[in-house]
Amino acid sequence: MTIPTEQKALILPEKQGQFVVATWPVDKPETGEVLVRIEATALNPADWKVQAYGGLVNEYPAILGFDSAGVVVAVGEDVASPLVGDKILFQSTLTPRLAGFKQYTIAKANATAQIPDNINFDQAATVPIGLGTAAVGLYARSWARGGADLIPGWEAAGRAKYTNQPIVVFGGSSSVGQYAIQLARLNGFSPIIATVSTHNNDLVRSVGATHTIDRRLSTSAIVSKVKEVTSEPVEVIFDAISIASTQETAYEILASGGKLVLVHPSSIPQDKVKADKTVINTGVLAPDNKPVIENLYKRLTQHLASGDIKPNAVELLPGGLAGIAKGLEKMKNDAISGKKLVAHPQQTV
């Protein structure tokens, strides 16, 4: 296959600027890297937040996009796997060389997973950041941007280790929430209680939630509902939304000695903070959490093939890369429910 020297990319020309589709060079893979023709790229809330507020990105013009799936078209030195022609998924970072909102990108070979035959490119693109955040939040050691320091369910010691222990996932239908539920199920947590809009009850049950609670109920009502489900202390809570109201409710439910994993900084009022409850603002991109991601990717193909990990439902955006800006606007307006928005960069006109 001929590799082009130029491609189409979705560029953010300046901080808080407007996205534009433009021509961009195709990079060559260096040692430990592969060049991938991206067939599907998924959108994340962080993409619209970078555009709206700045942050995360220091150099402009910038290219965003964290979630990519495609075909390897070239490999750098010292890469035993994947090989040219392999279908892979991987987590991108927001540098123009590595980001996903373009037609070709560079991936680090040791943090890629082969896409099994039962998963298409669109589904594969829904996996990386959502699953990675859930995995880091549950399994990274308990440092400031780490996790709850649990043993992963993909290790023999972690499978069924937490049987009969309750877990609550706030935002069960979000991408991160759906993957947190699935990892908790692999760990044997029971019950797995998810807050969700009632129209998503069946969706979260299909990925492993045993009980659902309407996410629009008040703090006291959600606390009572959890108590109706379990009389055990709730020692692990994953708040995949982490706005003030979900944090407040989660913290109230959290038992003494327990760990609350947030996806944004804590806003729990100082006068409510207790020394015996640990709160962690997890960070999927933090370099110290890399070992969790690398271990996850060693098992990911197998988990996707077996159905232990199911991808998110997909809503395909029209227009290739040009359709992404509208999709991000939709996310910003809170108009996404239980789905991941996906674009096909190769269909960019």
Q: Which residues bind ligand NAP (CB under 6 A)?
A: 44-46, 129-130, 133, 170-171, 173-176, 195-197, 200, 215, 240-241, 243, 246, 263, 282-284, 331, 336-338
Q: At its nearest, how many Å lie between ligand NAP and the CB of residue 66?
A: 8
- Closest to ligand NAP by CB, 200 vs 348, is 200
Beta bridge partners of 259: 236, 278
Cα–Cα distances (Å) from 135 to 148, 273, 284, in that order, read: 10, 26, 8
- Closest to ligand NAP by CB, 39 vs 239, is 239
- Closest to ligand NAP by CB, 75 vs 192, is 192
Amino acid at 99: A
- Closest to ligand NAP by CB, 21 vs 284, is 284
Residue 120, judged by CB atoms within 10 A of its CB (0-12, 13-18, 19+), counts as middle
Q: At its nearest, how many Å lie between ligand NAP and the CB of residue 204?
A: 8
Cα–Cα distances (Å) from 312 to 82, 144, 315, 347, in that order, read: 24, 28, 10, 22
Task: Please give the Cα distance from 201 to 23 (Å, whole number).
Answer: 44
245, 251, 252, 253 alpha-carbon torsion, rounded to 10°? 110
* Type and span of the H or E element at 342: strand 339-343
Residue 321, judged by CB atoms within 10 A of its CB (0-12, 13-18, 19+), counts as buried
Q: At its nearest, how many Å lie between ligand NAP and the CB of residue 206?
A: 13
- Closest to ligand NAP by CB, 150 vs 196, is 196
Q: At its nearest, how many Å lie between ligand NAP and the CB of residue 183?
A: 14
Q: At its nearest, how many Å lie between ligand NAP and the CB of residue 251?
A: 15
- Closest to ligand NAP by CB, 65 vs 171, is 171
Q: At its nearest, how many Å lie between ligand NAP and the CB of residue 160?
A: 26
